[in-house]
Amino acid sequence: MSEIHAGHIEARDLSIDLGNGRENFRAIERVSFNIASGEFICLLGPSGCGKSTLLGALAGHIPLAAGCLTLDGKAIRGPSSERGLVFQQHTLFPWKKVVDNVAFGLKMKGVVADERRARANELLKLVGLSGFENKYPVSLSGGMQQRVEIARVLINQPRVLLMDEPFGALDAQTRWVMQQLLLQVWASIRTTVVFVTHDIDEAIFLADRVLVMSHCPGRIREEIVIPARRPRGEEWVTSDDFIHLKRYCLDLMRDEHQLGHGAKNESELALQFAGAFI
């Protein structure tokens, strides 16, 4: 497939409010960060800390209360196919075959059928689903459905791939396979990835850098550079350096006591925007 142009993301003093009237509260407070083009970033933190809210702002669906958020120097002011979003639960059309699900974005752009199917087949090969083009989503496993979801987002050649705990509903073995697959796909296209997770092992295995968030209102508590070379495999997750980083992250997370009421509000209100993401 043709090369995807990765994007540079910058956030400066970013704040986000959720809720209306008396239910209004600050979900994100004065967050600043830079993400280089082609970098793989994980947002790590407890439930309710604002990870999904921050991802929603990056997608262009949640407005800012203060600060600015840019992609390649231009303010993010709404949704765009330049920023593809993958959820934990797939959003595939059950009545469409796999190839047509992947090709749907190109159909909306008016690309002719032969071309969009050829590009869809190319991406299905990339995610390891050659031979499943004419299957329907219901006949696929959870991991395979997520592969289709990733291919469907990538067909629009996004500058940024936004992933909201995409493997959270999978069993441990399938999750490990999907993590390795994602790194293989990312190595091929080198688009910028922002990946939300509350799983420490997942963050340390995948990321170039991990941004650890505090409880609500969410702030960047610490930035952790992951020193492991790529490609990565079992030797990394069983290494002393991996275990040291995991213990350090556990200590950070232990310090972040969950604020039950704030976490509940943030989670519930962020879900209200999910319909707009699809």
> What CATH number does residue 270 fall under?
3.40.50.300
Residue ranges making up the domain that contains 266: 1-82+160-167+197-278
Give the residue from 56, 41, 277 showing the smallest Cα distance to 149: 277
Per-residue pLDDT tens listing for the chain (278 residues): 445 566 999 999 999 999 888 888 999 999 999 999 999 999 998 888 899 999 999 999 999 999 999 999 999 999 998 999 998 888 899 999 999 999 999 998 999 999 999 999 999 999 999 999 999 999 999 999 999 999 999 999 999 999 999 999 899 999 999 999 999 999 999 899 999 999 999 999 999 999 999 988 899 999 999 999 999 999 999 999 999 999 999 998 887 654 444 444 444 444 444 443 33
Residue 71 forms beta bridges with which residues? Answer: 9, 74
CA angle 275, 193, 82 (to 5 degrees): 60
Q: Mention every residue, 6+ apart, whose C-beta is less than 8 A from residue 112.
A: none
Residue 181 belongs to some domain of the structure: no
Structure-block tokens of residue 182: 């994602």
How far, in Å, CA of 170 to CA of 101, rounded?
A: 21
3-state secondary structure of 182: helix
Q: Which residues of 151-169 are buried (b: 16+ CB within 10 A; e: fewer)?
A: bbbbbbbbbbbbbbbbbeb
Residue 74 belongs to some domain of the structure: yes
pLDDT at 265: 46
Laid out side by side, the sheet with 66-71 consists of 25-35, 9-18, 66-71, 74-75
CA angle 149, 152, 157 (to 5 degrees): 130
Residue 50 belongs to some domain of the structure: yes
3-state secondary structure of 248: helix
Structure-block tokens of residue 143: 């991991």
Residue 38 belongs to some domain of the structure: yes
Residue 101 belongs to some domain of the structure: no
How far, in Å, CA of 105 to CA of 107, rounded?
A: 5
pLDDT at 255: 76
How far, in Å, CA of 268 to CA of 24, rounded?
A: 13
Total number of domains constituting the chain? 1
Using CB atoms within 10 Å of the CB of residue 65, give its burial: 0 to 12 exposed, 13 to 18 middle, 19+ buried. middle
Give the residue from 129, 85, 147, 102 showing the smallest Cα distance to 111: 102
Residue 78 belongs to some domain of the structure: yes
3-state secondary structure of 101: helix
pLDDT at 21: 84
| Angle formed by the axes of helices 142-154 and 172-189, nearest 10° | 20
Do 210 and 151 touch, CB atoms closer than 8 A?
A: no
Residue 117 belongs to some domain of the structure: no
Structure-block tokens of residue 59: 């997608």
How far, in Å, CA of 50 to CA of 56, rounded?
A: 10
Question: How many residues make up the chain in this entry?
Answer: 278
Compute, in degrees rounded to 10, the torsion defined by CA atoms 58, 63, 65, 70: 40
pLDDT at 88: 85
Residue 41 belongs to some domain of the structure: yes
Q: Which residues of 3-14 are buried (b: 16+ CB within 10 A; e: fewer)?
A: ebbbbbbbbeeb
